[in-house]
Chain A
Amino acid sequence: MTDDLDQLKAALKTATPTPDASARDKALALAQRNFDILQQATHSAHLENTPSSEQIGFFDQALRMFEHFGLRLGLYAVSGIAVLGIGIMILTPELSKKLLVYYFQSGPEPTEFMASVETTASSTENSAPVIKQAQLSESIVVQEENEQTTVHELVKLGISEDTDQTSVVPGSIEDLVSRIASGSEHSVLRIEQPMRDAGPVATSNLLSPKRAWNNQDNNAFAQLSNSAQDPLQEMEQFANGQPNTLKIVSEEPVSTFSIDVDTASYSFVRSSIMHDRLPRTDAVRVEEMINYFSYDYSNAEDENGPFSTSVAVLKTPWNQHTKLVRIGIQGETVPADDRPDLDLVFLIDTSGSMRAPDKLPLLKQSLQLLLAQLKPTDRVSIVTYAGSSGVALEPTPASDRATILTQLGALRSDGGTAGHEGLQTAYWQAEKMRGPGRVGRVILATDGDFNVGISGEEELKRYVEDKKNNGIYLSVLGFGQEYYNDGIMQALAQNGNGIAAHIDTTAEAMKVLVDQLSGTLVPIANDVKIQVEFNPTKVAEYRLIGYETRALAREDFNNDKVDAGEIGSGHTVTALYEITPVGSLAQKSDKLRYQSNADTKNSAELGFLKLRYKSPGESESQLIETPIIDGRAENSGDAKFAAAIAGFGQLLRGDTKYLGSWFYPDAIALAHSATGADQYGYRAEAVQLMKKVSAIDLTDNSFIDPSNLSRDTPMVQLGAFESARIAKSEWAWISRRFESYFEGKGPVIQRRATSGGKVFYRLRAVGFEDMDAARRFCSLLKAENIDCIRVAAR
């Protein structure tokens, strides 16, 4: 039988052509050109960043970054902290959890992420039984006969199971190395772990920070997890992402958190729902959903510092016995004359796919809108990327609008996409414009088919992060409906300290480029922290809605070294507490008999709000204080809408404990009644999302009880999920998408637990004549890139 393989081998070798000479020359020339560009572009950075003593330089740099950017460093810095944490042991579990969360927000798909964690586990302890992604395909084969919990499922769920799974045997790489290296006089080094990307991290890297710093983020990141007690356990905490629990005022009267002006979670939720899928519960950050919308707090009486604060009491839509306390912050709008000059490089995707009217033409319109916001002393450069990248407009003062508009108008779409190269050219332009007191920013405008190609997302992110640390920021504008690469766009922008926005209409362009861009470009207050002390004579219990990833320790409120969120020009920030007044029927905890002699002097006050912020460039914070006065519930459209979104977010999180029977229809009705002027239609869109979700988030019981299935009933397994709810929504999605295949098939959800006690849910389909029919079904689905495994009921 080897004859077949020999024949294939021979045919393969014969068929391999000599490379086309002109293609070869072109590729080599391109490489050389990029090499030169890279040399030029990074020359100055090299001088700055490569101190003679590598080790001290590294720690110095990492520490500086750590202080300066805190947790929001992005991935490049994550690798820095990771190494730092291991090297000098300052990494707390809490911090690593936050970093995990951050990683998820901007990082790869969870499965990849898990795989990277596991890899390191094996790199540090080769003997430990670890689950390897490498075994996926094997385990799939195994499962056809064996009904046990499979590694496949476990990896997907991120669960460790104490099985005898052996990891890839180390050492055999040595053979490979020696074999391929024949012809080279180099001595063969032993590599003790499977290869990941270009270079594996050996544990000895920990002694050589410079090297680890240079390494792949996922490896360095994995080291980070490894430094925690139990990386998998750490991950579970993250996966559960516990919603804030009810606090009893007499026990814990003070609540402290950092503000959060990000809105990425809303985009994520929106895009999931638009694709007929429930968002992962741990990706739903309720505060970011609330903050996607702006609310009018401008009439707040308490105006001091760079923003005004507004405190109001609202009705709780889902519980008539509790109230919502709303804290609203409105950042002042900095007039353009007062902000630093901007050097903007528009990196514009002019590839063929941009031809659609909602892409390049809309992009041009959008940039015209933006141009109108610029000062004469700002400068603009345009770089295009298509088949090859080029500079369409050398740096030009914004005052020369005619030239800029002419160049913008002349852009045509054709050719393929060379994103990476374009990005390098854009940064090169930005470097050229650098000057004291100016802010450089690359604005990438694309339909999302950004070819990160071989460079890989991680490296690209690191590149962007690196540029940010050198003072050049990156924002991303996405165009068109087929926005495939949303994840990397978000990640790039986060690492580049900018926004990632998706522009589908001129109205959205107005929102992002006129209102929000100035907000993102011009920070007005840094490290904004909120602390609320509740009055135990008025409030029995409270619960902060959202902001889970932003919690601060009580004492950190006054500690100016502790990082917190920024507010940009014109931003609004909203935080909601659900409070249970003393004596309310809603009170969950019993009253204490002996503790109720608190000072009742300030009886009109539900609590006291303290807010700290730093003005940009300053290191000392300032304090703003406001009492929270109980009064008539505000019933404005803004109030109702924020409450509706808060409820919607909690439903999406599956955090329904406090919502009673309140469900999507209630959210829809409330939000619908409160869309107000809704100039751009965002609120109306949110209502549409709610309607859509109510069709996906199945609550019915049309699922077949697995215990009713007779032995050996043929089935296929479509996946394993963290909750029955997600499994159901997956069924809703998949069975509609492949309607013709799923005719006559019924869903089964089987609850399973690992030996470690972690529960998960298998989604299966029944309705096959025999195993062969199931096999055919699976091959159809596999061709559509859907996981599918044949199984038989036991």
Chain B
Amino acid sequence: MTVGIRLTDTMRMKTSDHDLVQAANRGDGDAFSALLSRHYDAIHGLAFRMLGSGVDADDLAQDICAVLPYKLRSFRSDANFTTWLYRIVVNAVTDRFRKQATHRRVLAGWGDFHRMQQDEAAHAQNEVAWLYRAMSSLPDDLRQTVALVLGEELTHAQAAQLLEVSEGTVSWRMSEVRKSLRAIARDEEKTL
């Protein structure tokens, strides 16, 4: 039986994610805290890019944080922690989409274009309005793909692995995204 060495604060600054996970799973609360502080912003960022709402991203990040202590126990040491975490975020977002579909809730986040128009009136930023328009024109799976490929700058192959689709599908989805953007551009020309 191996006895875990308790990590001191100074050691922890340079400690790898894996070591933090291991320490956390041995019951070291500080290690857990350090690990989560390190990654919270990434969780939140990806959640925002997929959901399109800061409040929803806060919510989702909190949900993830709440279960992470338990979830962490299934982390395998030969996996990359960030990848593993991305995967949890993707799953959580998918779960949320699925639930929204079940409850037939009104679209929120990227889809809530009208709310956005009001909110953004203050900002008066065309670019933001365009972004929301673009994102809301995409179905859930395309938005997720965009968040990973453009937001996180993953390659198609990497995004494909996370989304559990083939690389070809990701490429196809991105071409659909392009088509959708072009359609918006044409529309805007018309209205100009």
Residues of chain A having any CB pair with chain B under 8 Å:
1, 4-5, 7-9, 11-20, 23-24, 26-28, 30-32, 34-36, 38-39, 43, 52, 132-138, 141, 168-169, 172-173, 175-177, 179-181, 184-186, 188-189, 191, 194-200, 202, 211, 214-216, 418, 420-421, 424, 451, 453-456, 459, 463, 484, 785
Taken together as a complex, chains A and B put the C-alpha atoms of A34 and B69 apart, in Å, by: 7
Contacts of B54 in A (CB 8 A): 17, 19-20
B88: CB under 8 A from chain A?
yes
Q: Mark B128-151, 1 if CB is under 8 A from A, else 0.
A: 101100110000010000110011
The 5 closest A-B pairs by CB, nearest first: A176-B158, A31-B65, A23-B58, A35-B69, A9-B150
The answer to whether A137 and B167 have CB atoms under 8 Å apart is: no
The answer to whether A38 and B70 have CB atoms under 8 Å apart is: yes
B71: CB under 8 A from chain A?
yes
The answer to whether B29 and A32 have CB atoms under 8 Å apart is: yes
Taken together as a complex, chains A and B put the C-alpha atoms of A406 and B76 apart, in Å, by: 47
The answer to whether B36 and A176 have CB atoms under 8 Å apart is: no
Looking at the assembled complex, report how far the CB atom of A381 sits from the nearest CB atom of chain B, in whole angstroms. 22
Residue in A closest to B157 when the chains form the complex, CB atoms: A172
Taken together as a complex, chains A and B put the C-alpha atoms of A38 and B16 apart, in Å, by: 23
The answer to whether A184 and B17 have CB atoms under 8 Å apart is: yes
The answer to whether A28 and B67 have CB atoms under 8 Å apart is: no
Residue in B closest to A173 when the chains form the complex, CB atoms: B161
Known: A36-B29, A459-B74. A8 touches B177 (CB 8 A): yes
Known: A12-B151, A176-B155. A30 touches B70 (CB 8 A): no
Known: A134-B165, A172-B157, A454-B92. A19 touches B61 (CB 8 A): yes
Taken together as a complex, chains A and B put the C-alpha atoms of A168 and B103 apart, in Å, by: 33
The contact sample of 21 A-B pairs, CB cut-off 8 A, is A9-B153, A12-B131, A27-B40, A27-B61, A28-B36, A30-B62, A32-B36, A34-B66, A38-B70, A52-B1, A137-B141, A168-B167, A172-B157, A172-B158, A184-B17, A186-B80, A191-B78, A199-B84, A421-B66, A424-B70, A484-B102
Contacts of A175 in B (CB 8 A): 155, 157-158
Contacts of A186 in B (CB 8 A): 16-18, 80
The answer to whether B68 and A13 have CB atoms under 8 Å apart is: no
Known: A19-B58, A34-B66. A1 touches B71 (CB 8 A): no
The answer to whether B74 and A28 have CB atoms under 8 Å apart is: no
Residues of chain B having any CB pair with chain A under 8 Å:
1, 16-18, 24, 27, 29, 32-33, 36-37, 40-41, 44-45, 48-49, 54, 57-58, 61-71, 73-76, 78-84, 86-88, 91-92, 95, 101-103, 127-128, 130-131, 134-135, 141, 146-147, 150-151, 153-155, 157-158, 160-162, 164-169, 172-174, 177-178, 181-182, 185
The answer to whether B74 and A138 have CB atoms under 8 Å apart is: no
Further 11 A-B residue pairs, CB within 8 A, beyond A27-B65, A137-B173, A168-B160: A4-B185, A5-B177, A9-B153, A11-B130, A138-B166, A173-B161, A176-B83, A177-B80, A198-B74, A200-B79, A463-B70
Contacts of B67 in A (CB 8 A): 34, 420, 453-455
Taken together as a complex, chains A and B put the C-alpha atoms of A355 and B75 apart, in Å, by: 39
Taken together as a complex, chains A and B put the C-alpha atoms of A36 and B28 apart, in Å, by: 9
Contact of A34 among B70, B76, B177 (CB under 8 A): B70
Known: A17-B48, A785-B101. A8 touches B131 (CB 8 A): yes
Taken together as a complex, chains A and B put the C-alpha atoms of A191 and B158 apart, in Å, by: 13
Looking at the assembled complex, report how far the CB atom of B36 sits from the nearest CB atom of chain A, in whole angstroms. 5
The answer to whether A31 and B131 have CB atoms under 8 Å apart is: no
Contact of A194 among B24, B91, B127, B164 (CB under 8 A): B164
Contacts of A4 in B (CB 8 A): 178, 181-182, 185
Known: A24-B40, A28-B33, A199-B76. A455 touches B169 (CB 8 A): no
Taken together as a complex, chains A and B put the C-alpha atoms of A588 and B157 apart, in Å, by: 61
Taken together as a complex, chains A and B put the C-alpha atoms of A557 and B1 apart, in Å, by: 44
Taken together as a complex, chains A and B put the C-alpha atoms of A380 and B95 apart, in Å, by: 34
Contacts of B128 in A (CB 8 A): 11, 14-15
Contact of B169 among A9, A24, A134 (CB under 8 A): A134
Looking at the assembled complex, report how far the CB atom of B163 sits from the nearest CB atom of chain A, in whole angstroms. 8
Contacts of A420 in B (CB 8 A): 66-67, 70
The answer to whether A455 and B70 have CB atoms under 8 Å apart is: yes
Taken together as a complex, chains A and B put the C-alpha atoms of A133 and B67 apart, in Å, by: 27
Residue in A closest to B96 when the chains form the complex, CB atoms: A453
Most A C-beta atoms less than 10 A away, residue of B61, B87, B127, B135? B61
The answer to whether B65 and A30 have CB atoms under 8 Å apart is: yes
Contacts of A215 in B (CB 8 A): 74, 76
The answer to whether A23 and B161 have CB atoms under 8 Å apart is: no
The answer to whether B172 and A38 have CB atoms under 8 Å apart is: no
Taken together as a complex, chains A and B put the C-alpha atoms of A599 and B76 apart, in Å, by: 66
The answer to whether A39 and B29 have CB atoms under 8 Å apart is: yes
Residue in A closest to B185 when the chains form the complex, CB atoms: A4
The answer to whether B83 and A180 have CB atoms under 8 Å apart is: yes
Contacts of B44 in A (CB 8 A): 19, 24
Most B C-beta atoms less than 10 A away, residue of A13, A35, A216? A35
The answer to whether B92 and A12 have CB atoms under 8 Å apart is: no
Taken together as a complex, chains A and B put the C-alpha atoms of A23 and B82 apart, in Å, by: 21
Taken together as a complex, chains A and B put the C-alpha atoms of A135 and B172 apart, in Å, by: 12
Taken together as a complex, chains A and B put the C-alpha atoms of A380 and B147 apart, in Å, by: 48
Looking at the assembled complex, report how far the CB atom of A383 sits from the nearest CB atom of chain B, in whole angstroms. 16
Residue in A closest to B141 when the chains form the complex, CB atoms: A137
The answer to whether B33 and A194 have CB atoms under 8 Å apart is: no
Looking at the assembled complex, report how far the CB atom of A102 sits from the nearest CB atom of chain B, in whole angstroms. 22
Residue in B closest to A9 when the chains form the complex, CB atoms: B150
Residue in A closest to B103 when the chains form the complex, CB atoms: A484
Looking at the assembled complex, report how far the CB atom of A181 sits from the nearest CB atom of chain B, in whole angstroms. 5
Taken together as a complex, chains A and B put the C-alpha atoms of A31 and B32 apart, in Å, by: 9
Residue in A closest to B161 when the chains form the complex, CB atoms: A173
The answer to whether B146 and A8 have CB atoms under 8 Å apart is: yes
The answer to whether A453 and B84 have CB atoms under 8 Å apart is: no
